[in-house]
Amino acid sequence: MAKRRKVGNLLALALLAQLAPGLPMHPYQLAAVLAERGVPVNRGTVYDTVQAMARAGWIEPRAAEQAGTRPQRTPYALTETGQAELVRRLDDQIRSPRREFPEFLGAVSHLGVLGPARATEALTERGRRLATLIGENQGRLDEALADGKVPRLFVIEAEYALTLLRAERDWVLALADDITEGRLTWPS
């Protein structure tokens, strides 16, 4: 039987990474930073995960803070145990490919339901939308790197995301072409 992680939530990795630079943050701050970086978060889930990580000994509370009329908030700092867990998880996730099941894979596995014409139309539209997204993301990446102040190491996830988007765009457009040219046929 596989050993169960103390906190199996994928959000834990993102939260630990935000605390790694050594700046204590309260859960509201953590949620805001992740949302700013494009990570979809639910504040309640962030608070629950922070509590679970504190119980696991990965983070520890610091003295509560209060700014103006805002409610008192407790910031958390990464512990040595938390740093070790972060490194272990990152190392494992980078080394070990896993079967991931993105939403698009689930949808495309049922492409036949649309029929050839509608499938071609949907794939072509997705290809156009991906091209737009690629252009926007490439522009932001170029802007971030333009002045040389942001090390490339800090934006490699954007490079990876662009590579995946380009591969997906190329595949969906090639598949649409295969349908149009009769290389992918529908059963009668």
Q: Range with the lowest mean pLDDT among 4-18, 54-68, 169-183?
A: 4-18
Phi then psi dihedrals of residue 136, to 5 deg: -65, -45
Distance spanning both ends of the chain, measured CA to CA: 46
Q: How do beta strands 59-61 and 76-78 pair?
A: antiparallel
Residue range(s) defining the domain that contains residue 153:
103-180
Mean pLDDT, residues 31-42: 84
Residues 123 and 170 in one domain: yes
Q: Is the pLDDT of residue 36 over 90?
A: no
Instruction: Give 51 or 36, the one with higher predicted confidence.
Output: 51
Does residue 159 form part of some domain?
yes
Instruction: Give 8 or 144, the one with higher predicted confidence.
Output: 144
CATH of residue 91's domain is: 1.10.10.10
Mean pLDDT of the chain: 91
Residues 66 and 112 in one domain: no
Residues 108 and 91 in one domain: no
Mean pLDDT, residues 105-117: 94
What integer pLDDT is reported at residue 119 of this predicted model? Answer: 97
Residues 131 and 70 in one domain: no
Residues 90 and 149 in one domain: no
Mean pLDDT, residues 68-75: 87
Residues 33 and 63 in one domain: yes
DSSP H helices in the chain = 11-19, 27-36, 43-56, 80-95, 103-108, 115-146, 156-180
Phi then psi dihedrals of residue 172, to 5 deg: -65, -35
Residues 24 and 90 in one domain: yes
Mean pLDDT, residues 55-76: 90
Residues 23 and 68 in one domain: yes
What integer pLDDT is reported at residue 5 of this predicted model? Answer: 53
What integer pLDDT is reported at residue 162 of this predicted model? Answer: 95
How many domains in the chain?
2
Does residue 188 form part of some domain?
no
* Closest to 60 measured CA to CA, from 75, 44, 42, 72: 75
Of 60, 95, 130, at which residue does a domain stop?
95
| Cα–Cα distance for residue pair 1/177, rounded to 1 Å | 47
Does residue 6 form part of some domain?
no
pLDDT, tens digit (0-9, with 9 covering 90-100), for 128-145: 999 999 999 999 999 989
Residues 33 and 109 in one domain: no
Q: Is the pLDDT of residue 179 over 70?
A: yes
Mean pLDDT, residues 139-152: 90
What integer pLDDT is reported at residue 8 of this predicted model? Answer: 76
